[in-house]
Amino acid sequence: MTSILDAKHQLLHDRTGGGAAADLVLGLLTTARMIDTACAALLNEYGLSEGRLAVLLAVAEIPGSTPARIADRIGVTRATITGLTDGLVTAGLLSRGTDQRDRRSLTLHITTAGQQLIDALAPQYASWLTDIVRGVARDDTSATITTLAAMQRNLTAIP
């Protein structure tokens, strides 16, 4: 079963003695890395990263939000959000404004170009997601989602 592992994870597998838990977790890590690499390549075609896309989607969802609110929404630091929004503003995908209630605060707004980019990317991204799970039975997909949820619960319980 270890044929689903990349070289790094195979080394870890061999060192830990393997077993079903190692097969599952290390196989998941290998797969996640492959998905991240493919996702980065897809988004790069649009001049985006996953972080920039998350900001763009969050601002589209909550127009006029402050950078702090967007940072909280997507789970990044305020320093990170500054760099992400700077790049999106420079690219013409977001604009900054002034909060009418507190003129010291900035607000973020998606531009027409930003919305057009989301509209162009969304169907291609949806198709890409479908391609990744092609050949996986619906029951297997459901079982995998249940398994991932259990693993996430276990991870939050581990100190």
Burial of 18 (0-12, 13-18, 19+ CB in 10 A): middle
C-alpha dihedral (117, 123, 125, 130), degrees to nearest 10: 180
List the chain residues with pLDDT less than 70.
1-2, 103
Sole residue written with tokens 């996702």: 39
CA distance 92 to 148: 37
State residue 134's pLDDT score. 95
**Can you give the pTM of this predicted structure?**
0.85
Q: How far apart are the first and last CA of the chain?
A: 30
State residue 154's pLDDT score. 95
C-alpha dihedral (98, 99, 104, 107), degrees to nearest 10: -70
